[in-house]
Chain A
C-alpha cells in the first residue's frame, strides 16, 4: 500500500535518506527503530509530505504522493499523524480538538462530529475529560487525545513519530495500549519507537535504520533474537529492554 522506490532525501548537503526501497502492505503494522539521527523520523514524515524528497517516488495505493498537482490537504486528511510533542491545540478543549478537522474538512454537523469525537475519546479512555483543556491534562492524556484527534478523520493509515518518547515512564503504557488497540482494527500503522517490548508484541515487521539506510527488515521474533546486521546487533545490545525474554 505504501511503497518507497529509490527514495533519497537531503537537508542541504546532508543526506538523510539513502536509497530507501520498502513496501508496507495494507493492514500491516511496521515498527521503525534505530539510533538517533538514523533518519527514522524523516522517513515517516515523508509519508505525509511534512518532508519533501529529492529523488525516487513514494506511492500510496499506486499514486505518487509527492507529485505536483496533488491536493495535499485532501491527501493528508486520509493519513493520521501523531507527534512526539502531542501538539494539541491549547486554545481548544479536548473534544474541540477532535471536532475541528471533521467539521472543517468533512463538513460534519457539530452534533455528529461531537458524537464521533466523544466515542473516540471514550475509546482512548478519556470521555470524562472531553471538556478539559490540554493544559489540564497529563502528557499521557494529551497524547491519547492526540490519537483520538487523528482517528476522528477515519484514516486508513496512521503514522506515529516516537509517540511515547516525551512521556514520563509511568504514562507510556496507557498510550501503547491505545495503539495496540488500533492494530486489532486492521489499520495500517507505521510506528517510529524505542519501545522494543511494544514492537515485539504488536509489530508484524521491524525496520532497523542507521545513517539514512534501512539495514535490516525482519519479523520481531527474528529481529530481536537473531539480528543479522552487525549494526543491529550492536544497537540491541546497547539498549535496555524491560520486556526482554531471554
Chain B
C-alpha cells in the first residue's frame, strides 16, 4: 500500500493541478467550504421565511424546503445538471453545477436548523424587544438571530462535515473530486481496488472525524462564553 501512496499522493490531493484544473482532496474541501458559505445566508433567509407571520411568504418557502428535503441530493444535482443550462442559458461546468446543487440542498437543510434555532430562543426575548418598541425586523436582526446563530455554531460545523460527504456525488457527473480521483487511480492500478478504496475511506474518515472533534471542542468552548450562557430560568410564579 505504501508504494501506492508514494506514487499517487499528489494526484490524490490536488488532482492535475497545476497542469490541469484543481482536483482531489483540495477540490473536495474547497467545494464544501464554498457551498456552505453560500448556503448559510440562503439558509438564514429561508429559515426566517419559515417563521414569518405572513402566510404568503411562509407557505411557498415551506413547500420548497419540503420538496428539496423529500428528494435525494442526487436528484437536485440532476436538476441542476440537466435543467440549469436551458433555464439560464449558461452552460455550467461540473464544479458550478455541483456547487449550485449543494447550495440549494444545504440551504434547505440549514433553513430547518435556523428555524429550530429561532424557535429555541425564549419567547420572553421576543416580547421584551417588542415592548421596547423594536419592530419585528429589528427584533429578529438584533435580538433573536444573534442568539440563535451563536447557539447554532457547532451544528454548522457538523453541517460542514455532511457537505464534505455530499461532494462525493460529484463523481457521478464527472467532477474530479477525491472519490473520482480514487476511481481514476483504481483504473490505472486495476488489481488493487481494496487498497485504493480503503485509502479513500481512511482519508474521508480522518477529515470528517477530525472536524467532528473540532465541533465538539467548539461546543465546549462556547459553553463557557459569558454572552452565551442560557439564563438561569427563574421560578415561574403564578400570573
Contacts and interface: CB of A to CB of B under 8 A. Distances in A.
Interface of A: 36-37, 40-42, 48, 50, 73-81, 83-93, 100-101, 104-105, 133-136, 139, 142, 146, 149-150, 153, 162, 165-167, 194
Interface stretch (B63-71, B188-196, B227-235): B227-235
Interface string B182-210: 00000000000000000000000000000
Contacts of A87: 122, 124-125, 127-128
B127 A133 contact: no
Contacts of B127: 50, 83, 87
A222 to B, nearest CB: 26
A166 B234 contact: yes
B90 to A, nearest CB: 41
A52 to B, nearest CB: 13
A165 B124 CA distance: 16
Given A83-B124, A100-B142, A139-B234, A90 B229 contact: yes
A77 B150 CA distance: 28
Interface stretch (B3-11, B77-85, B133-141, B160-168): B133-141
Contact of B128 (A73, A79, A83, A136): A83
B87 interface: no
A150 B146 CA distance: 21
Given A104-B138, A133-B227, A136-B226, A48 B131 contact: yes
Nearest to B143: A89
B239 interface: yes
A85 B131 contact: no
Contact of A153 (B132, B226, B230): B132
Contact of B237 (A77, A79, A162): A162
A194 B134 CA distance: 30
Interface in B83-120: none
Contact of B132 (A41, A92, A100, A139): A100
Contacts of A74: 133
B234 A37 contact: no
B221 interface: no
B2 interface: no
A134 B132 contact: no
Residue with the greatest number of chain B CB neighbours at <10 A, chosen from A40, A42, A91: A91
A41 B127 CA distance: 14
Contacts of B19: none
Contacts of B129: 89
Residue with the greatest number of chain A CB neighbours at <10 A, chosen from B128, B130, B147, B229: B128
B234 A36 contact: no
A166 B134 contact: no
23 contacts: A37-B239, A40-B239, A50-B127, A50-B131, A73-B134, A77-B133, A78-B133, A80-B131, A85-B236, A88-B231, A89-B125, A89-B129, A90-B147, A90-B231, A100-B143, A105-B132, A105-B133, A133-B226, A133-B229, A135-B231, A136-B226, A166-B235, A166-B237
B227 to A, nearest CB: 5
Listed from nearest, the 3 A-B pairs whose CB atoms lie closest are: A77-B133, A36-B238, A166-B234
Contacts of A79: 131
